[in-house]
Amino acid sequence: MVLEFDQHFIQAENQLPNPDIPEYKNIPVIDLTQFLNPDTPDESLKDLVVQIQEACTVWGFFTVINHGVPKELLEKMIAITKRFFALPAEQKLKVRRDDVNFLGYLEGENTKNVKDWKEVFDYSVRGSIVVPASSDENETRTEEATNQWPENIQDMSEVCMEYGKAVEGLAMKLLELISMSLNLPRKQLNSYFETEDSGTRIRLNYYPPCPNPNLALGVGPHKDQGALTILAEVDGVSGLDVKTKEGEWVRVNPVPGSYIINCGDIIQVWTNDKYESSEHRAAVTSTKARYSIPFFLYPAHYTEIKPLDELVSEDDPPKYNGFVFGRYFKSRRNSNFKLGIENAQISHYRRV
């Protein structure tokens, strides 16, 4: 048992999970078969593009099926995830993250200064990630986080890297669809991520059964910092809660073989709020363990993020000041290790 329940896991009164949460019934299910067929002409994709536009404006979350990631690869990835978290604590702790190397294992990370009831393992799809050494604007030094693999699971790095490549391919396709839905050239957004310096990472989440599932969360309420998140839920065990535009928490029930997609803060800023980054959280139970595998699409740390020129106008002027992505990443990460530090959010970059 790596996690011991104490008061640091208890959510504030207004953030407590709801045991009778309603199901998120109408989450759009988008079939990518036609889009992934290279022979499909652009004119035949109009309905699909409208579906993406509606999913991003109205819902913030959607599901994709027939997404091109091989079923066997996802199954291998799930098996590796379970093997990793089943390792004895001392073996997991050998690949523990620290203040500089934020890739590897961690138990009980904080989200907005409250501890999450989870264990995680993070890795980069490139092998390492460079970020600024601090969030200070005058800081020019950088730090490099490097993948750490456990000695006892021989094929873990191979499976994880192969999976990363496959899901990155899906992410590039989804970006094309999102660009088309915004009336931008199809590949306009891809170049931000098709670089060796991309900060894209994958997380393995393990939520063990929790003695107080009505007081704690597996991941506290948050918005994702990157551009897109591609989430695999495992074994049909639900737990992902999404806040609707009306402010109600609802539970997403996994569709077998699908991925759950949401836009992150970067797309919110690029689109000047046309596509919002939705708040979400993960609930836990006292009886069932849950696993999930999110893929977070991040640009290089030095990338400047601001509303795209094509998506602002005199009537809809930029709502955000530009910022350097790595600095935003760094300031938000600071609170992962330290309780009591204010957590940076995308709203801090909003103009008045």
Site residues, ligand AKG (CB under 6 A): 203, 205, 219, 231, 239-240, 280, 282, 292, 294
Contact yes or no for 277/223 (Cβ under 8 A): yes
d(CA 93, CA 142): 25
For the CB of residue 54, give the shortest distance to ligand AKG in the complex, in Å: 23
For the CB of residue 205, give the shortest distance to ligand AKG in the complex, in Å: 5
For the CB of residue 196, give the shortest distance to ligand AKG in the complex, in Å: 25
Among 325, 324, 336, 91, residue whose Cα is nearest residue 203 = 336
For the CB of residue 221, give the shortest distance to ligand AKG in the complex, in Å: 9
Of 76 and 222, CB closest to ligand AKG: 222
Of 97 and 203, CB closest to ligand AKG: 203
d(CA 199, CA 330): 12
Of 3 and 240, CB closest to ligand AKG: 240
d(CA 8, CA 291): 22
For the CB of residue 233, give the shortest distance to ligand AKG in the complex, in Å: 6
**What torsion do the CA atoms of 322, 326, 330, 331 make, to the nearest 10 degrees?**
0
Of 126 and 281, CB closest to ligand AKG: 281
Among 202, 350, 198, residue whose Cα is nearest residue 276 = 350
d(CA 230, CA 260): 6
Pair type for strands 128-132 and 240-243: unpaired
For the CB of residue 280, give the shortest distance to ligand AKG in the complex, in Å: 6
Of 172 and 237, CB closest to ligand AKG: 237
d(CA 227, CA 141): 25
The angle, 0 to 180 degrees and rounded to 10, between the axes of the packed helices 156-181 and 46-54 is 100
d(CA 319, CA 307): 7
Contacts of 191 (CB under 8 A, 6+ apart): none
For the CB of residue 157, give the shortest distance to ligand AKG in the complex, in Å: 21
Of 32 and 202, CB closest to ligand AKG: 202
Q: How many CA within 13 A on the CB side of residue 127?
A: 3
Of 185 and 257, CB closest to ligand AKG: 257
